[in-house]
Structure 1
């Protein structure tokens, strides 16, 4: 008997693109994202890792690839890993390992890793606080960034500290229901 349910499973890259287009770029949560996205300089990697160790290996490979590829081709990489570190506390603990990989590859000051997770929670903030959604994504994601690209983007922005405050105000106005409607394709009220 053929199982036809596989075609119904969401494509994690398509879901992540939707989040990036509608939330990150659409709400201007990251004013630097649109330029690299429209220039097709964002690499989307769907990890098949099922263990933290396998994800670390993939992270190291992608860091080396990003380091060795001109920014005009790949400026940033999103490693989407839906089958490992789905628990936020485990994911958060894992981030120390990303720093260790950067160190081992002698990449501090060249590349950095930012973090997104469906259950992201800032320290000292309630789990249901809408401010957590600034770092919430449909799947756990390791975001690999070039330090020089980040520095150029921040230098071009008049007051980068305002971004966080503006994002929280945007999400407060939108609310969790509005966030969910936005990502589902409905118009937020």
Structure 2
């Protein structure tokens, strides 16, 4: 059965993240089929934290999965509540002994960087169709970064690129991910 949050997220990954090279490492993993997409419909933070640890265990046990996108299809629509949950998730990873093994990247439909205006197109480097956590192996990050000619320049390049595209174009790109039919 089609899963609309996964369909929208995959389209976002393909058209925004890979299509605009916001993450120069994502295309390889998507083509290899090593990205695990999962959804969580529960809105209870404790349930969502249990799922996060379950995904860590999945990565522990399956080396064919490079990274996991946990998509919160109904929870954390408020960006500030999401940030509170993100802080809990990071603390839980450390408490469970996963610090240095896994890392979280955060994406949200209303993502706004500190000191950035809400209408800054650069926020779209971390805006996604649904709130989500991106769970990555730190060893894979180190390997990917070591083979990139300018890893420190990636964020600056993304900010320049999204601002050149402009707010209207970035809004349209994200909105198109919701309009696709399974």
TM-score, normalising length: structure 1: 0.88
Q: Distance in 1 between matches of 2:38 and 2:50?
A: 13
Q: Distance in 2 between matches of 1:164 and 1:50?
A: 31
Give, in angstroms, the shift of residue 113 of structure 1: 1.1
Comparing both chains, which one has the higher relative contact order based on Cα–Cα distances under 8 Å and sequence gaps of 6 or more? 2
Where does structure 1 differ by over 2 angstroms across 4 or more consecutive aligned residues?
180-183
> Which deviates the most, 9-18 or 161-170?
9-18
Q: Which residue is 2:144 aligned to?
A: 153
Q: Which residue is 1:66 aligned to?
A: 59
Corresponding residue to 1:102 among 90, 93, 117: 93
Say how many residue pairs are matched.
176
**Could you list the per-position Cα deviations for residues 59-95 of structure 1 after superposition, in whole angstroms to 9, with x for gaps in the alignment?**
111111112211xx10000000021111000111111
Which structure 2 residues correspond to residues 129-168 of structure 1 after superposition, within 5 A?
129-168=120-159
Partner of 2:166, secondary structure, is: helix
What runs of 5+ residues in structure 1 fail to find an aligned partner? 1-6
- Contact 1:67/1:111 (<8 A) preserved: no
Partner of 1:84, secondary structure, is: coil
Give, in angstroms, the shift of residue 10 of structure 1: 7.7
Q: Distance in 1 between matches of 2:72 and 2:140?
A: 24
- Contact 1:25/1:34 (<8 A) preserved: yes
What runs of 5+ residues in structure 2 fail to find an aligned partner? 178-182
**Could you list the per-position Cα deviations for residues 98-125 of structure 1 after superposition, in whole angstroms to 9, with x for gaps in the alignment?**
1222122211111111100001011111
Give, in angstroms, the shift of residue 180 of structure 1: 3.1
TM-score, normalising length: structure 2: 0.92
Q: Distance in 1 between matches of 2:114 and 2:173?
A: 26
* Change over 3 Å in CA distance of 1:10–1:174 after alignment to 2: farther
Root mean square deviation of aligned Cα: 1.7
Q: Does 1:24 align with 2:24?
A: no
